[in-house]
């Protein structure tokens, strides 16, 4: 399982893993994103703010995994049934938004791990296919059995939590120390709003927000955890990667589509 999880391999090597953000449904869109470049390591399937249903999530997870890109599902909330649905689809990891407390972080780990570590129920029939070891352009297939999934899932799936509220920021060191949390992921726009420093321009963040982002990164590093952050552009993503961030988004489908169409129609004038 670990060999098939491209995001986790990068995180364990402490190398930057660049990803794309999908808000619109469709497996064709997922494949276009994943095959747009050799660079995408992960695809975020956004169930919190995106227009993606449960069945669409299953299909997008399968499509991105078949492209050799790790599907990561952002669940709407940290509820046990939402986490279960995401992981049972075969997602290589989850991103949980709106974290508030240390207990929230502990609950997320509990819901994500199989016994005896956690309380997640086992149903691997749909999940195993998305974690086979196979080069996306052919080669020998190393199948994964349900028994092996059960043995390896706790150590092979990425658990990322979003630090985007004032409460989570205040408790960030304690949250980072929770066993089983792999990534502290920063949602800069929500974090800015929640601490009273909203972003008017990504290139002109308030100094207090800049300091908050750095404090989250420092807490993650001190705890031996990875740091992630949402970015709108590849240039922003490279900047944060150069600063030691690990799980970094480079583009969102809706932003990218709007930008390309705008460029095309501007060129017609």
Between CA 115 and CA 208 the distance in angstroms is 41
Tokens of 19: 């990803």
CB atoms within 10 A of CB 14: 11
Pair type for strands 70-74 and 158-163 = unpaired
Length of the chain: 269
Between CA 120 and CA 31 the distance in angstroms is 30
Strand partners, 159: 94
User: Which residues are annotated as catalytic?
Assistant: 49
Tokens of 78: 């940290």
Tokens of 132: 């086979």
Q: Name residue, tokens 């985007």.
A: 164
For residues 43 and 71, is the Cβ–Cβ distance under 8 A? yes
């Amino acid at each position: 399982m670990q060999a098939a999880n491209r995001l986790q391999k990068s995180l364990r090597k402490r190398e930057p893993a660049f990803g794309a953000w999908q808000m619109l449904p469709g497996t064709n869109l997922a494949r276009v994103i994943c095959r747009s470049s050799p660079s995408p390591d992960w695809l975020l399937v956004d169930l919190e703010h995106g227009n993606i249903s449960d069945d669409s999530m299953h299909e997008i997870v399968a499509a991105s995994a078949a492209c050799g890109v790790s599907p990561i599902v952002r669940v709407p909330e940290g509820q046990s049934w939402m986490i279960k649905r995401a992981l049972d689809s075969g997602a290589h990891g989850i991103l949980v938004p709106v974290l508030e407390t240390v207990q929230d972080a502990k609950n997320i780990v509990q819901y994500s791990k199989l016994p005896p570590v956690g309380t997640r129920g086992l149903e691997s029939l749909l999940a195993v296919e998305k974690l086979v070891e196979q080069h996306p352009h052919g080669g020998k297939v190393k199948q994964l059995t349900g028994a092996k999934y059960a043995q390896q899932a706790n150590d092979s799936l990425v658990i990322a939590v979003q630090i985007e509220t004032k409460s989570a920021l205040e408790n960030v060191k304690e949250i980072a120390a929770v066993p089983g949390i792999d990534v502290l992921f920063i949602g800069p726009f929500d974090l800015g709003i929640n601490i009273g420093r909203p972003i008017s321009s990504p290139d002109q963040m308030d100094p207090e927000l800049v300091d908050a982002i750095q404090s989250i990164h420092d807490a993650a590093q001190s705890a031996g955890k990875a740091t992630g952050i949402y970015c709108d552009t590849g240039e922003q993503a490279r900047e944060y990667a150069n600063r030691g961030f690990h799980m970094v988004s480079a583009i969102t489908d809706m932003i990218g589509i709007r930008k390309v169409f705008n460029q095309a129609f501007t060129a017609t004038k």
